[in-house]
Each structure stands twice: as structure tokens, then as C-alpha cells.
Amino acid sequence: MTALEYIEESGVPESMWPNLEAWYGWFEKQGMVGVVKDKDGIAGVALARCIKDGQDPNHYVHSEDGENVFVDLTISSKGAKSLRCLLLLLWERFGPRKRITFNRSGKPRSYDYMTFMRKAKV
């Protein structure tokens, strides 16, 4: 199973978007897809990008030097362990930033990046 198929089968609202493949492809092309696997296959997928302070998190906006990480999508079938692994991948890809924001049912939720990572034990 591919990460895209995992998203499609998850049933999250984004999985039903007519442009899901193009949207996912945009993240994949820039190395902004995190995939966690275990012995059974994919255990989690995350799509994230960086944005600058004050920048709206509109789709297809990414600033490599942005101060903030915006997590557009996180799916985990294995709970906290796979979520921590996804956060570790995020850390490896983007390094330390100012804030981390999650898209939670269309509403952004922001946290201090370092505090969030410490609490998540990353």
C-alpha cells in the first residue's frame, strides 16, 4: 500500500477531495510527506510544510525558511507511538522552528514548537 492509498482508505475528509492526488503530489515532490511503517505496513502518514509568521496557511504555500510548521494532515492507525515517530520525521525534515500548527477539522491549533516536542517526548 502506498501513502496515498493509506490516506484514501483512512476516510478522513481530505481522502474524498477530487484533487487529493495532486495535493498529495505537491507535498511528496518537495519531500514533505512523512510515512511511518511497522511490520504490518504503513502505520501513519503526515503532510507538513513551513510558513512564515503572519502568512496564511493557504494550500500550496511553503516557505523553506518559514518560522512555523503547519501540519496539514496526520493519520495514525497505531496510536501514540506512530505519532511520535511522525513528529520525529517532522523534526528531521524541518529542524527547530518557532511554532507548530495542526489543522484540526479545518481549525488551526498552534503550539510553541519546542514545548510541544518536549511534551511529545521527541
Spatial separation of the C-alpha atoms in residues 87 and 7, rounded to whole Å: 18
Mean pLDDT by 10 residues, the chain (122 residues): 95 88 97 95 96 90 96 90 92 95 86 91 77
pLDDT recorded at residue 112: 95
pLDDT recorded at residue 121: 81
Domain architecture of the chain: domains with CATH? 3-119 (3.40.630.30)
pLDDT recorded at residue 108: 87
pLDDT recorded at residue 15: 80
| 69 DSSP β-pair partners | 50, 100
pLDDT recorded at residue 16: 86
* DSSP string for residues in 85-99: HHHHHHHHHH-S-SE
